[in-house]
Structures are given as structure tokens and as C-alpha cells.
Chains A and B, each alone.
Chain A
């Protein structure tokens, strides 16, 4: 309890100082949104589910950095029913954890979204979604397995490492990484035994030595849609980290056709 008390005290003290700033930030976001007409902002849908996720993951989309998007949270069930409708998202950001596979209704809607050439961002937990039963998704869309389902027994070799502090290094010349420098990411949960498709385009690598493959950010191999994946995103520390938010924002912009 002493640890909790200390944290609460610190949280209270920080909160006392930060409140005016937070209110100012909300006002700034509203002002920026007002400057960007509704029709020009990307419609971004965030979908979690099946696993805990910190408040900061959701609140990220209310950061002033994301003032050029209209965010909506749409969890399961029937998470992708807006696809094809008047409020169809330009970009879907997933952080759900459903390792079997989505129901047929969700899969059909997602295929429609991808075939329309729209954007998909896959964060942290969602790199394992559909891992067990929808090979097309893992191999042709997001370009990864949390564990290599092609190798018998690999499922039991899935690894979870908590809580790594890693340096993230941008790789290549993709618009998402253009001009970025390496940076240290706060504590996070990592998946060191992932399989990354050789047809994926690596964007970011980790310096943590436990990774089988150092790639922690990549562009998926889907030919029509713009798909980007980012393995970090478990802890509150990471989800409120400015570098992390910058990457997610760039991915959203690129997936929505606003960054080339």
C-alpha cells in the first residue's frame, strides 16, 4: 500500500500542477479542430477489446497532435459496421486481442475497408489478433504472427517480456520515418518471438537483445490498403510518450493518404 500511496501522492501533486495545462490543452485542441473543417479531417476509428488497455491509449486521440482527425471509439461486437456507411472511417486503428479470429461479419467489413484502399493501423495487442485462424490476415494484410503458426509447437513459444526500456531506431526512407531520430521508449511489454513477413517494410527496430527479429514497426504487405503496424503500446508510460504519439499520428496520416 505504501507504494500505491506514494504514487497517488505524486499523481495528485502532478495533477494539481497539470490541471490548468490540461484544460488549456483541451481548449487548444478544440480551437485547432475548429480551424480544420469537418470534411478535411480524417475519420479515425479506434477499436480495442478483449484485453486491458490504459486510459492514455484512448486519450492519445484527444491529444492536440491529433487535432486534424475526428476520432471515435467503436469496440466489439460488430466493430466494423460503420464501413461503407455515411460515417465510414478513413483509418481504423486496432488494439484488440482476439487471437482466434473475428466473427464473419467483422471480417467481411474489414475486407471491404481494405479493398476500398483505406487505412489500417495495428497497435500492440492487435498484432496477435486473428493469429490462430485467419492466415490471410496475418500473411497478406498485417504481415506478422505473434507466434509463427506455420511452425508446429510455436504457439507455446510465444514470449512476453515485461517491462523493457528500449531505444527505437527508424529504418529506411518511408514517409512515416522521414526526419525521425532514434529515441528511448519508456517501459513497455514486448513480444520477442514474433514472425515478421519478409514482404513487410520495416520502419522501426528495437535495440532490446531479446528480440528474434528487431522490427517493431512495419508496413504490411497488402496491395490496396495502407497498413502499418507498431508493436509497442502496452503501458500508460508509452501511450502518453510524445515520441510514441508522433509515430502513431504519422502512421494515421500516411494510412489516410495525407503523408507521402
Chain B
């Protein structure tokens, strides 16, 4: 019941009523905020081939990522779900079960409002954004899926290790991401120097929706790259003056259709738990999904 001046003035209940009133106001505010800021972004998170701390996934449980459904699927991963699956016919009732029953397939026994789970042959909603932190040369089938998703205008956020993806696929780094962590000298590109434990003072390079609520910040323990190959067509977002690192450490990719964001930091627990870094990743996902 909403508080009234009368029950607020009652000496026995005034504190409780005041708290209840506060809770009601808070709940109302949350509901109204929800109506305005509802995002519902579907995100696939793929890592592989390089070690990292589990604080990467822990980061996405921060309430800052409210409204996003983020599903890890590590390599070997398919990118087919970046495009929606066609509607599938409803499945029949679950077969009779009992200990020792042998029928194969999937049985369902769940509440009607059970959250979507990416298993059991359910129609997929289609991920809006692919967040990458893997480092490998993708097989041909995966490349075909990625190309289709790029051309369909899906979003891509590349973190740290994934800047070394697809060393042998120039289309990916020249036409999409605009940057490559060069693992070995190749085609006139010198290998990138990698150093650990670096302190990075980071400043903003431009005014961009991704940098909303992001102030200059410092990362105390990061793995940095020097002499990456970077396209002259990238749009820098973040800069550093650390001499062991390239100056541009976050940028917008170069593909005209897809929305692509590249973020060089992302190796350490300290970075994953840095509020400014989290805000940067959050905004990058929302921008890549065309929500901001």
C-alpha cells in the first residue's frame, strides 16, 4: 500500500513506512527506466587458443550489462547463429519417461516462462553482436559464416587476443577490423612486439557514442602491442602515450556495412574489473548492435 501522510506521521511505523515509500519510489523508477532503456541485445562471446582469466566472463555479470543476453561459446565455435534461424515447427509432447526408458531425443519439462537456453534444438533468436577474444585462423566454414554476418550488418567487438585472428585472411583485417596483431613477419608486415605488465594511461581520441560516460583512465597491468598493422581508414577512439604500445588502442573498424569495434586491452583481471573498461565494452556492444 502506498504511504500516506497519516501513516508516515504515526510514531510506531514511521521509519518502516518511510522505507516502504522509498522502495515503492525506487521500484516505480526502475519500471519506468526499464520502459525507456530496454535494450535486449543478444551477444555471442567466443574465445579460444589463448589463455585468459575467467574475470572476462565475470565482467558480463555486472549489472552494467543489464538487458544483454551474453552466451559464451568457445572454439571450436560456429558463427551461424549470428543470423536468425527460420521458424521451426513446435515439438510434440515429451515421451513417457521412467527409469530404464530408452527413447532417444530431447524431452522438455519446464515452466512456460523458462528463459531461453541455447540447447535442445530451439529456434535461435540470432545474435546481434559477436564479441571475440580468440586467436586462431578460422576454418573456411566459419569464415563463410562470418562474412555473411558482416555483410548482413551484424556487430563485432574484438577484444585483445582476437586482434591476432586470421593471419592468413587479409579480407578480415583489411576490410573489416582495420587492424592485425602480426604474429610472424609476413607480406611486408613486421611482427608485432608484445609486452606484459604494462601501465597504460588512456585518453579519449574523439567524441563518439561509445565513449559516453568514459573518462580518461589508467590500466595498471596490461599486455600491450607495439607495431600492429593498422589501416589508415580506422577511426581512433582511445589513445595512449605508453612507449611500449601503439598509440591507438581502441578504434572503429573499416567495413561499411557491419559495425566493428576493436579494443586492444583486455588481458588481465585488473582490466576486466576496471569500471571504465567495462563501460567501454558495454557501450561498444550497444553501438555495434545499433542500440546507441
- Whether A associates with B in a native complex is yes
Taking CB atoms, residues of chain B closer than 8 Å to A26 are 273
Min Cβ gap A50→B in Å is: 5
Taking CB atoms, residues of chain B closer than 8 Å to A16 are 30, 63
A12 to B27, CA, bound (A): 10
Taking CB atoms, residues of chain A closer than 8 Å to B70 are 55
A36 at the interface (CB under 8 A from B): no
B86 at the interface (CB under 8 A from A): no
B118 at the interface (CB under 8 A from A): yes
A22 at the interface (CB under 8 A from B): yes
Q: Which of B56, B97, B108 contacts A73, CB < 8 Å?
A: B56
A72 touches B119 (CB 8 A): no
B104 touches A193 (CB 8 A): yes
A8 touches B105 (CB 8 A): no
A183 at the interface (CB under 8 A from B): no
B216 at the interface (CB under 8 A from A): no
A74 touches B117 (CB 8 A): no
B99 at the interface (CB under 8 A from A): yes
B62 touches A22 (CB 8 A): yes
Taking CB atoms, residues of chain B closer than 8 Å to A189 are 117, 119-120
A5 at the interface (CB under 8 A from B): yes
B115 (CB) vs chain A CBs: closest residue: A7
B60 at the interface (CB under 8 A from A): yes
Stretch at the interface among B44-52, B169-177, B229-237: B44-52
A75 touches B49 (CB 8 A): yes
Taking CB atoms, residues of chain B closer than 8 Å to A75 are 47-49, 74-75, 134
Against A, the Cβ 8 Å flags (1 = close, 0 = not) of B31-51 are: 101100010100001011111
B194 at the interface (CB under 8 A from A): no
Q: Which of B38, B57, B101 contacts A5, CB < 8 Å?
A: B38
A76 touches B48 (CB 8 A): yes
B151 at the interface (CB under 8 A from A): no
A113 to B108, CA, bound (A): 38
Taking CB atoms, residues of chain A closer than 8 Å to B73 are 49-53
Q: Which of B57, B103, B113, B136 contacts A159, CB < 8 Å?
A: B103
A contact face: mostly helix, strand, loop, or mixed: mixed
Q: Which of A46, A49, A162, A187 contacts B76, CB < 8 Å?
A: A49
Q: Which of B33, B34, B107, B134 contacts A162, CB < 8 Å?
A: B107
B72 (CB) vs chain A CBs: closest residue: A53
B contact face: mostly helix, strand, loop, or mixed: loop
B18 at the interface (CB under 8 A from A): no
Q: Which of B63, B113, B114 contacts A12, CB < 8 Å?
A: B63
Q: Which of B31, B71, B134 contacts A9, CB < 8 Å?
A: B31
A52 touches B119 (CB 8 A): yes
Residue total for A at the interface (Cβ-Cβ under 8 A): 66
A96 to B120, CA, bound (A): 16
A59 touches B54 (CB 8 A): yes
Most buried by A among B76, B77, B108, B114: B76
Min Cβ gap A34→B in Å is: 13
B201 at the interface (CB under 8 A from A): no
B106 at the interface (CB under 8 A from A): yes
A195 at the interface (CB under 8 A from B): no
B53 at the interface (CB under 8 A from A): yes
Q: Which of B27, B49, B66, B117 contacts A8, CB < 8 Å?
A: B66
A51 to B38, CA, bound (A): 28
Min Cβ gap A18→B in Å is: 7
A156 at the interface (CB under 8 A from B): yes
A98 touches B76 (CB 8 A): yes
B61 touches A56 (CB 8 A): yes
Taking CB atoms, residues of chain A closer than 8 Å to B184 are none
A70-99: which have CB < 8 Å to B?
71-78, 82, 87, 96, 98
A24 at the interface (CB under 8 A from B): no
Taking CB atoms, residues of chain B closer than 8 Å to A1 are 40
Taking CB atoms, residues of chain A closer than 8 Å to B76 are 49-50, 76-77, 98
Min Cβ gap B220→A in Å is: 13
B61 touches A59 (CB 8 A): yes
A54 to B97, CA, bound (A): 28
A71 touches B49 (CB 8 A): no
A12 touches B66 (CB 8 A): yes
B67 at the interface (CB under 8 A from A): yes
A157 touches B102 (CB 8 A): yes
Given contacts A53-B73, A162-B117, A189-B120, 7 further A-B contacts (CB under 8 A): A7-B115, A12-B33, A13-B27, A18-B63, A50-B75, A55-B61, A72-B51
The 7 closest A-B pairs by CB, nearest first: A15-B63, A58-B57, A75-B74, A49-B74, A210-B97, A52-B118, A59-B58
Q: List 12 A-B contacts (CB under 8 A).
A: A15-B62, A50-B76, A52-B71, A62-B54, A72-B53, A77-B48, A82-B51, A157-B102, A160-B120, A193-B104, A234-B119, A235-B117
